[in-house]
Amino acid sequence: MFAPNTLSAKAEVDATVQAGEMAQGRWNAAEPIVGQSAALKSVLREVSLVAPTDTTVLLLGETGTGKELIARAIHDRSHRSARGFIRVNCAAIPASLIASELFGHERGAFTGAAQRRLGRFESAHKGTIFLDEIGELPMETQIALLRVIQEREFERVGSSQPISVDVRIIAATNRDLQAAVSSGAFRQDMFYRLNVFPIQMPSLRDRVEDIPLLVEHFVGLYARKAGKRFSAIRKNAIEMLQGYDWPGNIRELQNVIERAVILCEGDTFSVDEAWLKQVSTRRARPALPLAATLADQEREMIEAALAAAQGRIAGPSGAAAKLGMPRQTLDSRIASLQISKDQFRAQVAK
């Protein structure tokens, strides 16, 4: 933690930023949404407008920009704040289990289902469900989820009894969903249902003026955890952190501050500039657009399966079985990617 007003008699005071001189622009004391930049204020203004409604919100932005923090802020300022905020990381759940996780299952619905289990949507009844990494959902789950978004109704796995829920949906992704729709990786009707009130999260490099406030906040947080006291933050540390590109955004800044707090031995917080220089010199070449990369990978997988199956789609030795997907889904992806099945049959004939 900081011990304010202890540097006034020190010669190095001009080379440091006094902790007490930095005013933190917080949403409130319970939620450390720190910053005073125009970009952040724009997001918070949108939050204040949409929070009192039941409108579906889509949070867009790079990894580490604080999408879950904003989702919680929307929930906390809604009439649902007294009920649950249920978070689902769509990318972390295996495709074979995600329907059960979202919608629950009945006893005996599948091997290992020893008892009825409530899904995340039932747990979020009267509250908010936050679907993080929504762009990673498999196509089959997107179809089932679309019904919930449209009708607020679903069926548990192993049951035909419809269940109605009253739930507010907030989704988030770091993917370009419009590009994913164009490549066939994401359903267009799903995108339109989610994209009712989009909020674009700014990257940290677009919030450079917030870095001193964020640094002070994280230094205070990790100093308390480590049982340390810092009386000041070196000015050159702030300048260095503001000059870095932050590809990992606030999450990366948080990690750098935590590491520096552990390693700092004096009462003035500083950061080893070699850390960021090493990262900068290892910058990778510009990556291909994510949608294009995913489409190319999917094409290669499908073509390899078709070659191994000699152009056959159905059957136990067909390409659909090899890829572990329904035949109809594979036919749809082949048509979308404009893959010719005949070329693989022709190769065998030769």
CB 62 within 8 A of CB 174: yes
Give residue-wise pLDDT tens across range 327-345.
777 777 787 777 877 777 6
- Mean local confidence (pLDDT), 69-73: 96
Residue count of the chain, please give it: 350
CATH topology for the 38-200 domain: Rossmann fold (3.40.50)
The domain limits of the chain are: 11-24+207-281, 38-200, 290-349
Q: Which of 25, 92, 66 is nearest to 246 (CA)?
A: 66
Q: Where are the alpha helices (DSSP H) in the chain?
A: 38-50, 67-76, 98-103, 120-123, 139-151, 177-183, 188-194, 211-226, 235-242, 249-263, 273-281, 290-308, 319-323, 327-336, 342-349
What separation, in Å, do the N-terminal and C-terminal C-alpha atoms of the chain show? Answer: 75
Please state, in angstroms and rounded to a whole number, the distance separating the CA atoms of residues 254 and 269.
Answer: 14
pLDDT score of 259 more than 90: yes
For the segment 269-281, what is each residue's pLDDT rounded down to a tens digit?
A: 999 888 786 554 4
**Fold type of domain 11-24+207-281:** Helicase, Ruva Protein; domain 3 (1.10.8)
What's the pLDDT tens digit per position in 303-325? 877 887 888 888 777 777 777 66
